[in-house]
Amino acid sequence: MFSGLDLEIRAGELVALVGPSGCGKSTLLNLIAGLEAPSRGQVGFDRPAGDVKLGVVFQQPRLLDWLSVAENISIVTGGQAKGVPPDVAALLAKVELLEHAHSYPQFLSGGQKQRAAIARAFAVQPDVLLLDEPFSALDELTARRVRSMLQSLWMDDTRARPTGVLVTHNMLEAAFLADRIVLLGGSPAQVVQTITVDIARPRDPDDPALFEIHREVMAALHA
């Protein structure tokens, strides 16, 4: 599916993968996550793969319906205590869900569920954060708000930023979140172009510079 694909992602960098449907973006994410194994070549980290903590946010929240929001987050860290542990409460506050800590997923809106899923991914203090079209099921107004929350969590200076890979079909989303945008294309797929997003964080979603990046990416995809 890939041809001569050579991609290096620096520690603490967030790279967005964009390209036509079926070009292998999600497959590449699965290879990084270890959910699929390459038939040739390899996926490597700067330490043994078993020592790398992964956080994943999928298109759908994938919360456990029989657990509260707080329990859905606590379970990934092995927490068994009743109530809301301080670290979980702090995460819920950052995604504006603290008042829903004891609510069950079926009583949350789509945006609230996805915020809980993002908090869960950060709860493991990931070394690598994988984002598979995490906002595609949300309306644009909600997605815009949740992207800003993700940016704030990413910029949290209490620990080293995770290294991130974002799969998206939304070029403005890629420009808003990523340090680099990698365009995949061809059959078999390969890296067609890499665009650096040299815009300081925190970023404003209405920054005209983001729209310039958007136009550059779209032009490259149509070329």
Query: Are 38 and 80 members of one domain?
Result: no
**Considering only 18-32, 93-107, 123-137, 163-177, which range has the smallest mean pLDDT?**
18-32
Q: Is residue 33 assigned to a domain?
A: yes
Answer yes or no: do 116 and 133 share one domain. Answer: no
209: in domain: yes
Q: What is the mean pLDDT of residues 74-95?
A: 85
Kindly state the average pLDDT of the residues 51-55.
93
Residues present in the chain in total = 223
**In which band, very low, low, confident or very high, does the pLDDT at 38 lie, cut at 50, 70 and 90?**
confident
Pair of tokens at residue 76: 């990934």
- pLDDT for 188 equals 77
Sign of the alpha-carbon torsion through 111, 115, 116, 117: positive
For residue 71, pLDDT beyond 90: yes
- Same-domain pairing of 71 and 12: no
- The answer to whether residues 114 and 168 belong to one domain is no
> Model's pTM, two decimal places?
0.92
Using the 3D structure, point to which of 72, 104, 124 is the last residue of a domain. 124
Which comes out higher in pLDDT, residue 130 or 22? 130
Whether the pLDDT of residue 78 is over 80: the answer is no
Based on the domain organization, do 31 and 135 belong to the same domain?
A: yes
User: Within a domain: residue 58?
Assistant: no
In the listed set 124, 147, 172, which residue is the last one of a domain according to the structure? 124
Residues 113 and 201 in one domain: no
Task: Tell whether 115 and 131 lie within a shared domain.
Answer: no
Q: Do 6 and 44 reside in the same domain of the chain?
A: yes
Asked, for residue 214, whether it belongs to a domain, the answer is yes
Residue 78 inside a domain? The answer is yes
Query: Which tops the pLDDT comparison, 165 or 186?
Result: 165
Give 110-162 pLDDT, tens digit per residue. Answer: 999 999 999 999 999 999 999 999 999 999 999 999 999 999 999 885 677 99
The mean of the pLDDT values for the chain is 91
Instruction: Note whether 89 and 194 are same-domain residues.
Output: no
**Is residue 42 within a helix (H) or strand (E), and if so which, with residue range?**
none
pLDDT confidence band for 109 (50 / 70 / 90): very high
Quick one: average pLDDT of 13-42?
Answer: 88
Mean predicted confidence (pLDDT) in 161-182: 96
Does residue 77 sit within a domain?
yes
74 domain-assigned: yes
Phi (first) and psi of residue 202, to 5 degrees: -70, 145
Whether the predicted pLDDT of 6 surpasses 70 = yes
Is the pLDDT confidence value at 5 over 90? no
Side-chain half-sphere CA neighbours of 104 within 13 A: 5
Residue at which a domain ends, from 124, 152, 177: 124
The answer to whether residue 91 sits within a structural domain is yes
Q: Dihedral angle at the C-alpha atoms of 33, 11, 61, 174, nearest 10 degrees?
A: -110
Whose tokens are 């998206």? That residue is 168
Number of domains in the chain: 2
Q: Where in the sequence is the domain holding 87, given as residue range(s)?
A: 63-124
CA–CA distances in Å: residue 151 to residues 40, 176, 185 = 35, 9, 27
Residue 173 belongs to domain with CATH number: 3.40.50.300
The answer to whether 92 and 119 are in contact (CB under 8 A) is: yes
Same domain, 22 and 36: yes
- Examine the domain organization and report whether 140 and 119 are in the same domain: no
pLDDT for the residue 113? 97
Q: Are 176 and 82 part of one and the same domain?
A: no
Residues 6+ apart with CB under 8 A from 85: 70, 74, 79
